[in-house]
Structure 1
């Protein structure tokens, strides 16, 4: 089954503000939390329509995260927690865009990393570990990771342009099977850099610093 990788940009601090903050939210954050709750209910209804039981509902998982824990011992609770965290990300991020559709993203990006590493690209500009990094490490409690997804990843916006430049610089040194995808990745990263650079210089309230990846399917 194919997996869809989408991405959006946000201030990581805005996402973290909802985790473990049940009693410390501003009026605007309370409003956004209301939207998250409704989206979590919609997501749960879709899971039920598909006959999927995670042992923990997505709305309950969202309440756990906001309360400051991910303590369910249900076998597939990790999937509920990641879905709930994605709702938090989505309500604090830009509109999502599609990075691509891959039959086996872990295999593809693992092999791409090998090609880029062999061509001399710095390890901190490679994507595999970023795509599957999981939740922000600043979250003060462990969130279990779902084996079969969905997956969440992050990449610093400050590294988008260096990564794009590095990918273009080695296009003629990687296997032909990777060149089209690598060129596409470079273009999307550079586009995000351009928007980030403009907004950082010209919009005083803009604080986005992270590309968030979502792998579903």
Structure 2
């Protein structure tokens, strides 16, 4: 089974504002929450149509997150919580972009990490670390998804250029099997850095600070 990796940019504080809010939100955030609930219901209907039962519905998982709890004891509760949180991210982030589709992305990027580590890329910039690194500091604990997916990763936008620069510096010395995918990652990180740098300097209301990765 193949897995997709997508990403978008957001202000992590905008996402955190919903978690444990108990519905005490600004009118704009209440409006966004309505959209999240609608998408959560549609997502659940798609799972029901496929005969997938996680023991906790995505709409209920979303309600749990808003209430500040992640204590459902269903075996696949982590799948529902990750899906619900992704809907919160989606409604507070840029339009998603596609990074790639992989048969075994964790294995592939684990090998990329090994190769980059051998070539001197700093540990905090290795891609597997942030693709599978979970949520930013300050976010609540989520139970892991069964079989590892869906998953959420993140990279501070301030690290996008350092990561791209570090990868580009070793690209020609990497195993050829990794170069295409790493080059694609470099180009996407450089683009997001450029957007972030421009917006931070020129748009007063812009506060995005995080690349969120969606693995499904």
Q: TM-score range by the shorter chain?
A: over 0.9
Question: Would the aligned equivalents of 2:6 and 2:99 in 1 still touch at CA under 8 Å?
Answer: yes
In structure 1, distance between residues paired with 2:194 and 2:13: 21
In structure 1, distance between residues paired with 2:18 and 2:24: 9
Q: Out of 185-194 and 23-32, give the one that drifted further.
A: 23-32
Runs of 5+ unmatched residues, structure 1? none
**Runs of 4+ off more than 6 Å:** none
Residue 103 of structure 1 deviates from its aligned partner by 0.5
Q: Out of 16-25 and 186-195, give the one that drifted further.
A: 16-25
In structure 2, distance between residues paired with 1:100 and 1:10: 20
Name the counterpart of 2:110: 110
Task: Give the aligned CA root-mean-square deviation in angstroms.
Answer: 0.9
Does the residue aligned with 2:70 lie in a helix, a strand or coil?
coil
* Count of residues paired in the alignment: 215
In structure 1, distance between residues paired with 2:202 and 2:76: 44
Name the counterpart of 1:147: 146
Runs of 5+ unmatched residues, structure 2? none
Does the residue aligned with 1:137 lie in a helix, a strand or coil?
coil
Name the counterpart of 1:100: 100
Question: Would the aligned equivalents of 2:20 and 2:65 in 1 still touch at CA under 8 Å?
Answer: yes
**1:21-170 to 2 correspondence within 5 Å?**
21-139=21-139, 141-148=140-147, 149-170=149-170
Residues 129-168 of structure 1, C-alpha deviations (whole Å, 9 max, x = no match): 21112233312x4320113210100001001011111111
Name the counterpart of 1:171: 171
Residues 60-110 of structure 1, C-alpha deviations (whole Å, 9 max, x = no match): 000000000011101111100000000000000000000001100000000
TM superposition score normalised by structure 2: 0.97
In structure 1, distance between residues paired with 2:21 and 2:158: 28
Residue 117 of structure 1 deviates from its aligned partner by 0.7
In structure 1, distance between residues paired with 2:171 and 2:132: 24
